[in-house]
């Protein structure tokens, strides 16, 4: 095997795979979920995972992987197995939310009632008064 | 036809396009034979609505299998793709180019990490994927089995191979699997620097001395056939392919991606006064399609199956890297650790 790369030629690479040298299970360690804060004052947002043996190394890898090309203020890592998530199969538990329009500012209308009252009691509308001023 | 190779008999094929097995071993049978029809209908309705599938969702076994295969091979392509360019870091002309090349190679390795993670959410541990790469069981993009002979080769790779990859990745980022789409969006952002960097290098050589122009023309001559191979042979349109397109695993046909590439980049190559080594290459103004000499698919298949100029070197380098790091990784394993599939 003759490579264009002199460094590779110096490695004296074996031609065939040595099956005993395959990676063993867990050799790449556990996974940590990474949360990235772009700048102070913003939320931390989930951006992906890293493999690491402990939280310190997870932070080091997260810095390389997620802080290398992006503006970054802060990172969190948490072991994947420590995350408790709701089940997508139960997504319908959230589906009543849009019906609760009484929680939305846009669901309140008062002007019709005010105008009706003003007309009945001879109160001149403030906006009308403003318009009349020279 | 290469003896013993039938492109439609279900053997592992590596298509540059979307790393998809278009003719699986189950060819002829329905992909969804043993699936729950109610769950399948819900799954397909979700995709038809443009919603993404997340790792915890129910999905057909074939969807999971094809995605693991596709994302894993994409990850391998990134990590192996770092090698031909990495070769030139020590000999890059000038510090700015050396720094830029190091940043690009580091990005490619980072892309592999993002993609391995996306594949892992489907249930295949990363150790298994790396073992399948270094044993030769799993494939990677065929273009990386060719050497980068000169500095100009790295310029052509960074410009045109990355351009091809971007066309492929932009299409796939509109697919149906959430974690893969998220990884691809990030990857595409970073690739835009690679493309500009590659173009800058090609332009510098193409507008330089006679020796520099010849150097970049030679590199283009060497890389044109692998570039034409990159998107894979014309798809055989089958029920299987249609299902994968309906599931938004396969986002465009190989020929469509190749046409898009030619449309965008042939004029840019010609702008530099370079010659594309295919006398029959031209755009048919009536059909709006590019016509070209059919690439040598026999060579493509031969190289994919291990007989390319660099297959052995690429895998041996990867294997050596894994072997050299093994003692560190093993020293840090916690014996009572339970494997847990990442969430997203």
User: Could you give the domains of chain B?
Assistant: 37-327 (1.20.1260.10)
Residue B36 confidence (pLDDT): 92
Q: Is B27 left (phi over 0), alpha (psi -120 to 50) or beta?
A: beta
Domain boundaries, chain A: 25-132
Closest CA to B136 of A20, A17, A3, A28: A17
Question: By the CB < 8 Å criterion, does B131 face chain A?
Answer: yes
CB-CB under 8 Å, A26 with B114: no
- pLDDT value at residue B23: 53
| Out of A12-21, A121-130, B120-129, B308-317, least confident range | A12-21
CA–CA dist B18, B253 (Å, integer): 9
Q: CB within 8 A of B264, min separation 6: which ones? A: B163, B167
| B9-13, B61-65, B171-175, range with the lowest pLDDT | B9-13
The verdict on a CB contact (< 8 Å) between A49 and B117 is: yes
Query: Does the beta carbon of B51 lie under 8 angstroms from any beta carbon of chain A?
Result: no
Better pLDDT: B40 or B17: B40
Please determine, for residue B15, whether its predicted confidence score (pLDDT) is greater than 50.
no
Cβ distance B332 to A88 less than 8 Å, yes or no, reads: no
Residue window 277-306, chain B: list those with CB within 8 Å of chain A: none
| pLDDT mean over B64-74 | 95
Tell me the pLDDT band of B86, cut-offs 50, 70 and 90.
very high
**C-alpha distance from residue A117 to each of A111, A131, B126, B178 (Å):** 10, 21, 71, 55
Task: Kindly state the average pLDDT of the residues B57-84.
Answer: 95
Q: Is the pLDDT confidence value at B340 over 90? A: no
Task: Tell me whether residues B340 and A79 touch, CB distance under 8 A.
Answer: yes
Section B29-52 average pLDDT: 91
Q: Is B192 on the interface with A (CB under 8 A)?
A: no
Average pLDDT for runs of 10 along chain A of length 134: 83 77 90 97 97 96 95 97 92 80 90 93 83 70
Chain A residue closest to B189 (CA)?
A: A69
- Mind giving me the DSSP string for B29-64? S-TTTTS-HHHHHHHHHHHHTTPPB-TTS---HHHH
Question: How close A45 comes to chain B (CA, Å)?
Answer: 12
Q: Which parts of A1-134 are beta strand (E)?
A: 30-37, 44-52, 74-79
Q: Are B312 and A68 an interchain contact pair (Cβ–Cβ within 8 Å)?
A: no
d(CA B233, CA B299) in angstroms, rounded, equals: 12
**Chain A interface, Cβ < 8 Å to B:** 1, 3-5, 7-8, 11, 13-15, 17-19, 21-31, 33, 46, 48-51, 53-54, 57, 64-65, 68-69, 79-81, 83, 85, 87-89
Q: What count of other Cβ atoms lies within 10 Å of the Cβ of residue B225?
A: 18
Asked: is A25-132 a CATH 3.10.20.520 domain? The reply is yes
pLDDT beyond 70 at B242: yes
Q: Does B339 touch chain A (CB under 8 A)?
A: yes
Determine what percent of chain B is predicted with pLDDT higher than 70.
Answer: 92
pLDDT at B147 over 90: yes
SS3 of residue B262 by DSSP: helix
Q: At what angle do helices B210-230 and B254-271 cross, to 10 degrees?
A: 170
Nearest to B315 by CA among A42, A16, A49: A16
Confidence of residue B69 (pLDDT cuts 50, 70, 90): very high
Mean pLDDT of chain B: 90
**Confidence band, pLDDT 50/70/90 cuts, at residue B265:** very high
What's the N-to-C CA distance of chain B in angstroms? 43
How many angstroms separate the CA atoms of B153 and B146, rounded?
A: 10
pLDDT-derived band at B10, boundaries 50, 70, 90: very low
Touching A: B residues 52-71, CB under 8 Å: 54, 56-58
Instruction: Quickly state the pLDDT bin for B164 (edges 50, 70, 90).
Output: very high
Please indicate whether residue B319 or residue B25 has the higher confidence score (pLDDT): B319
Instruction: Answer whether B320 sits within 8 Å of A13, measured CB to CB.
Output: yes
Task: Check CB contact under 8 Å for A13 and B334.
Answer: no
Name which of B106, B135, B330 is nearest A27 (Cβ-Cβ). Answer: B330
Q: Which residues pair with B151 in a beta bridge?
A: none
More confident residue, B114 or A98: B114
A37: left (phi over 0), alpha (psi -120 to 50) or beta: beta
CB–CB contact B125 A80 (8 Å): no
| Chain B contact probe: residue of A6, A7, A22 with most B CBs at under 10 A | A22
Residue with tokens 């507008």: B207
Instruction: Look at A104 and B281; give whichever has higher pLDDT.
Output: B281
**So what's the pLDDT on residue B29?**
63
Nearest CA in chain B to A62: B110
For residue A30, give the chain B residue with the closest CA: B339
Contact B145, B313 (CB under 8 A): no
- Using an 8 Å CB-CB cutoff, list chain B residues near A46: 344
Yes or no, beta carbons of B125 and A81 under 8 Å apart: no
What CA–CA distances, in Å, run from B338 to B141, B212, B344?
33, 56, 18
User: What residues are paired with A79 via a beta bridge?
Assistant: A32
For B63, left (φ over 0), alpha (ψ -120 to 50), or beta?
A: alpha
Contact at CB, A30 and B339, closer than 8 angstroms: yes
The interface predicted TM-score of the complex, written ipTM, equals 0.87
Q: Is B337 close to A17, i.e. CB distance below 8 A?
A: no
By Cβ distance, the residue of A30, A33, A46 closest to B337 is A30
Q: CB–CB of A25 and B326 under 8 A? A: no
Whether the predicted pLDDT of B169 surpasses 80: yes
pLDDT computed for residue B7 by the predictor: 39
Please tell me the distance from the alpha carbon of residue A61 to that of residue A67, in angstroms, as a whole number.
9
Model confidence band, residue B248 (pLDDT cutoffs 50, 70, 90): very high
* Yes or no, beta carbons of A26 and B106 under 8 Å apart: no
In this prediction, residues B115-126 reach a mean pLDDT of 97
């Amino acid at each position: 095997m003759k490579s264009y790369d002199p460094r590779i030629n110096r490695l004296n690479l074996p031609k065939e795979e040595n099956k005993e040298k395959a990676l063993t299970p867990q050799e790449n360690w556990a996974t940590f979920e990474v949360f990235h804060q772009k700048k102070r004052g913003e939320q931390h947002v989930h951006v992906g995972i890293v493999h690491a043996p402990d939280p310190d190394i997870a932070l080091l890898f997260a810095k390389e992987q997620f802080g290398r090309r992006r503006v970054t203020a802060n990172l969190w890592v948490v072991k994947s197995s420590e995350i408790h998530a709701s089940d997508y199969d139960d997504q319908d538990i959230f589906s009543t939310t849009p019906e609760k329009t009484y929680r939305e500012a846009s669901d309140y209308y008062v002007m019709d009632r005010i105008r009706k009252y003003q007309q009945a009691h001879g109160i001149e509308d403030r906006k009308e008064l403003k318009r009349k001023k020279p | 036809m290469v003896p013993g190779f039938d492109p439609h008999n279900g053997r592992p094929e590596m298509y540059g396009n979307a790393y998809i097995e278009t003719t699986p071993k189950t060819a002829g049978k329905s992909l969804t034979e043993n699936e729950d029809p109610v769950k399948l209908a819900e799954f397909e309705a979700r995709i038809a609505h443009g919603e993404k599938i997340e790792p915890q969702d129910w999905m057909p076994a074939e969807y999971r299998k094809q995605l693991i295969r596709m994302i894993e091979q994409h990850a391998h392509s990134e990590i192996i793709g770092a090698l031909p360019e990495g070769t030139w870091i020590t000999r890059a002309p000038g510090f700015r180019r050396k720094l830029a090349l190091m940043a690009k190679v580091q990005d490619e390795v980072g892309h592999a990490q993002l993609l391995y993670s996306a594949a892992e959410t489907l249930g295949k541990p990363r150790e298994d994927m790396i073992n399948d790469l270094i044993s030769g069981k799993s494939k990677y993009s065929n273009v990386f089995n060719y050497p980068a002979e000169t500095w100009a080769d790295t310029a052509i790779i960074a410009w045109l191979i990355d351009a091809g990859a971007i066309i492929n990745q932009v299409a796939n980022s509109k697919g149906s699997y959430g974690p893969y789409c998220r990884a691809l969006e990030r990857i595409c952002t970073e690739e835009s620097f690679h493309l500009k960097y590659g173009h800058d290098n090609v332009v510098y050589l193409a507008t330089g001395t006679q020796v520099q122009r010849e150097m970049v023309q030679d590199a283009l001559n060497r890389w044109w056939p692998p570039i034409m191979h990159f998107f894979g042979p014309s798809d055989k349109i089958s029920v299987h392919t249609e299902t994968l397109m309906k599931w938004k695993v396969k986002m465009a046909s190989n020929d469509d991606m190749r046409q898009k590439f030619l449309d965008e980049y042939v004029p840019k190559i010609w702008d530099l006064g370079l010659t594309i080594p295919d006398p029959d290459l031209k755009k048919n103004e009536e059909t709006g399609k590019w016509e070209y000499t059919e690439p040598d698919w026999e060579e493509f298949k031969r190289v994919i199956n291990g007989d390319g100029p660099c297959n052995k070197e690429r895998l041996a380098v990867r294997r050596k890297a894994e072997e050299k790091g093994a003692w560190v990784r093993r020293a840090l394993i916690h014996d009572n650790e339970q494997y847990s599939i990442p969430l997203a």
